[in-house]
Amino acid sequence: MTKRTITVGLSAGSLLALGMLASAGAETAAKATAAKTETSDTVKPVDTATEHLALAEDYRKKMAVYREDAASHRQMLETYKKQVTIPADAKTGRENPYTKKMRLHCAEYIREADTLAASAEKFAEFHSMRAAELQGK
C-alpha cells in the first residue's frame, strides 16, 4: 500500500466518522432539548405527588437519552475501528493514533453518559418514592 492510498483511506474513514459524529450530535441536542423541562427561570419546590411523578418521568426520559448516547458512541467506536485500515506499528506496538484519539474520546463520552444515566435513574426513583409517600402508599 502506498502512502497516497493510506491517506485517501484515512480521509474517507475520517469523513465517515465526522459525519456520524455530526449526526449523533444533532440528534442528541434535539433529544436533550425535548427532555429538558427544568430551567433556572422555572425551578420551584416540588410539593405534590403529581409534580413528583412528572419529575420522575422527566428523569426517566433523560436517562433514556443518556443511555442512547452511550450506546451510539459504543457503536461509533466499533465502526471507526473497522474503517481505519492502518494497523498498530509492529515494531513499537503503538496503537494507531487516529484510533487511539477516537477510543479515548468515545470512552470518556460513554463514561460520562453512563454516569448521568445512573444519576437520572436515582432521581427518578427518588421522585417516584416521594410521590408514593405523599399519596399515602
pLDDT of 97: 79
- How far is residue 18's CA from residue 43's CA, in Å, rounded to a whole number? 37
Q: What's the whole-number average pLDDT of the chain? A: 76
Do residues 56 and 131 make contact, with C-beta atoms less than 8 angstroms apart?
Answer: yes
Query: Which of 34-38, 98-102, 113-117 is predicted least confidently?
Result: 34-38
Residue 2 identity (one-letter amino acid): T
Q: Which residue has the higher pLDDT, 77 or 113?
A: 113
pLDDT of 133: 93
pLDDT of 8: 39
Chain center to CA of 83? 21
The answer on pLDDT for 107 being more than 60 is yes
- How far is residue 22's CA from residue 137's CA, in Å, rounded to a whole number? 46
Q: Based on the structure, what is the number of domains in the chain?
A: 1
Residue 120: count other Cβ atoms within 10 Å of its Cβ.
Answer: 21
Q: If pLDDT is split at 50, 70 and 90, which confidence band does 12 have?
A: very low
Query: Which of 20-24, 57-61, 92-96, 102-106 is predicted least confidently?
Result: 20-24
pLDDT of 79: 84
Range of the domain at 55: 3-134
Do residues 55 and 137 make contact, with C-beta atoms less than 8 angstroms apart?
Answer: no
- Quote helix, strand, coil % in the chain, to nearest 5: 75, 0, 25
